[in-house]
């Protein structure tokens, strides 16, 4: 199949999943065209079968802001003609599914046939844009106008049906990892760098895009409580609007020598391979890809019981879940994991086993392929 994938280039989960899907499909002999403003965060080195198409958005005095949606639709039309795309897979309803719909309308008029559209909903297109009256009708229309719709969790599917006037047959296809890549690969020199012997016994990690929904302040608060019981250090991986607030709270709590901010890291496996605990006290997670990456690398996760996380983590079995406001409970679970080696080993092994049984690419990508064929076989 010839497949077009539209995604964001930033370090969020949707762009990472879309990029990994593109690479996995190419490895299975499909040709994949990736559309974005810049090379996506995890696109990495050249891979046969994957072609990146940059969407340029020129500015004109007539327009008050750049018209990305129009430029994206135009680029999709051009590439669809050149590569005879069978599927346009839009990750996010707005603006990506909207641009795919416009491209399909143009191609339906000017060409013999047009690609089918599959839209994958990742979360904020529903929880933020979909719930905003300024966008709600447009989001719902783009979902229903798609030939196929998927969500990354059952929780997000139910939220979409509950909050938007949509009638689409929504499928749940979970996020995934390349399990041969996402596995624990210890590096003693890296461990000594982040957690020097005598100054640090345990290493706690948080990875996100530092948006308000990730509650970086809560990460710091939970770590501060853990630090009272365990000689630990915290690594904050990522960047975003709440980083200055995190820095302020770290200073207020006197944690500057116990916290290191690494910024965005394209290669996360080396960091996770040295971690002893992963904190994710989010206000909302449609799936929790960062938690899955940690579990794959043998790192126990303490997280909020929100959204799709209970579909990934069974509390007390392969991780621990608490209500978002229960920071003391999260800290207690963290302390237990960092001080009880038997508990740590049991939870870490169960987390890795969960990933291998349910969330590896060799299990999930064929589901996408089958769904593509199903959508192609049916009329709009």
**CB-CB contact of 6 with 72 (8 Å):** yes
Domain locations in the chain?
2-176+360-377, 188-358
Element (H or E) spanning 8, and its range? Answer: none
CA proximity to 278, closest of 208, 328, 231, 197: 208
> For every one of its 380 residues, what pLDDT tens digit does the chain have, with 9 covering 90 and above?
999 999 988 766 778 889 999 999 999 999 999 999 888 777 777 778 899 999 988 776 666 666 889 999 999 999 999 999 999 999 988 899 999 999 999 998 877 779 999 999 988 666 555 466 777 888 899 999 999 999 999 999 999 998 888 999 999 999 999 999 999 999 888 888 999 888 899 999 999 999 999 999 999 999 999 999 999 999 999 999 999 999 999 999 999 999 999 998 888 999 999 999 999 999 999 999 999 999 999 999 999 999 999 999 999 999 999 999 999 999 999 999 999 999 999 999 999 999 999 999 999 999 999 999 999 998 65
**CB-CB contact of 25 with 118 (8 Å):** no
What Cα–Cα distance (Å) separates residue 173 from each residue in 54, 152, 337, 340? Answer: 27, 5, 31, 35
Task: Look at the alpha carbons of 58, 264, 45, 69 in this order and tell me if their dihedral is positive or negative.
Answer: negative
- Options 3.10.20.30, 3.40.50.300, 3.40.50.10800, 3.40.50.2000; CATH for 188-358 is 3.40.50.2000
**Rounded distance between C-alpha atoms, residue 139 and residue 130, angstroms:** 6
Shared fold status for 2-176+360-377 and 188-358: yes
Tell me what pLDDT residue 128 has: 58
Which tokens is 91 given?
């990750």
φ and ψ at residue 292, rounded to 5 degrees = -65, -40
**Rounded distance between C-alpha atoms, residue 335 and residue 353, angstroms:** 23
Tell me what pLDDT residue 47 has: 79
Farthest CA pair distance, the chain: 70
φ and ψ at residue 138, rounded to 5 degrees = -65, -45
Spelled out in words, what is the top-level CATH class assigned to the domain 2-176+360-377? alpha beta
Torsion, Cα of 75, 77, 82, 84 (10° steps): 130
**CB-CB contact of 99 with 72 (8 Å):** yes
Tell me what pLDDT residue 154 has: 96
**Rounded distance between C-alpha atoms, residue 334 and residue 207, angstroms:** 16
How are beta strands 277-280 and 202-207 bridged, if at all? parallel
Strands (E), 75-226: 87-91, 116-121, 148-151, 170-172, 202-207
**CB-CB contact of 190 with 270 (8 Å):** yes
CA proximity to 206, closest of 182, 240, 230: 240
Peptide linkage before 336 cis (omega within 30 of 0): no
Separation of CA 315 from chain center: 21
**CB-CB contact of 153 with 266 (8 Å):** no
**Rounded distance between C-alpha atoms, residue 322 and residue 221, angstroms:** 15
Helices (H) and strands (E) in the chain, counts: 14, 13
């Amino acid at each position: 199949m010839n497949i077009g994938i539209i995604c964001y280039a930033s370090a969020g989960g949707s762009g990472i999943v879309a990029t990994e899907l593109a690479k996995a499909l190419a490895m299975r002999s499909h040709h994949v065209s990736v559309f974005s403003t810049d090379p996506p965060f995890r696109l990495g080195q050249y891979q046969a079968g994957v072609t990146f198409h940059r969407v340029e958005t020129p500015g004109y005095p007539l327009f008050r802001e750049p018209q990305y949606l129009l430029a994206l639709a135009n680029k999709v039309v051009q590439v669809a003609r050149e590569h005879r795309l069978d599927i346009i897979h839009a990750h996010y309803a707005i603006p990506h599914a909207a641009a795919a719909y416009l491209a399909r309308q143009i191609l339906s008029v000017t060409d013999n046939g047009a690609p089918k559209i599959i839209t994958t909903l990742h979360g904020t297109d529903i929880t933020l844009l979909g719930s905003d009256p300024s966008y709600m009708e447009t989001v719902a229309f783009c979902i229903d106008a798609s030939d196929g719709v998927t969500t990354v969790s059952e929780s997000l599917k139910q939220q979409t049906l509950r909050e938007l006037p949509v009638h689409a047959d929504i499928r749940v296809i979970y996020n995934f990892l390349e399990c041969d890549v996402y596995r624990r690969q210890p590096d003693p020199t890296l461990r000594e760098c982040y957690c020097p012997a005598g100054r640090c016994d345990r290493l706690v990690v948080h990875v996100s895009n530092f948006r308000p929904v990730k509650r970086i302040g809560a990460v710091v608060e939970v770590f501060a409580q853990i630090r009272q019981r365990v000689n630990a250090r915290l690594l904050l991986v990522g960047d975003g609007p709440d980083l200055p607030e995190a820095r302020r709270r770290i200073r207020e709590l006197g944690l500057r020598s116990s916290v290191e901010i690494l910024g965005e890291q394209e290669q996360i496996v080396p960091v996770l391979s040295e971690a002893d605990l992963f904190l994710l006290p989010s206000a909302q997670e449609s799936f929790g890809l960062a938690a899955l990456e940690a579990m794959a690398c043998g790192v126990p996760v303490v997280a909020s019981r929100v959204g799709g996380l209970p579909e990934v983590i069974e509390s007390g079995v392969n991780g621990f879940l608490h209500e978002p406001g229960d920071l003391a409970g999260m800290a207690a679970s963290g302390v237990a994991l960092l001080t009880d080696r038997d508990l740590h080993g049991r939870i870490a092994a169960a987390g890795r086993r969960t990933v291998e049984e349910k969330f590896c690419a060799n299990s999930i990508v064929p589901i996408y392929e089958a769904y593509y064929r199903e959508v192609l076989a049916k009329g709009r």
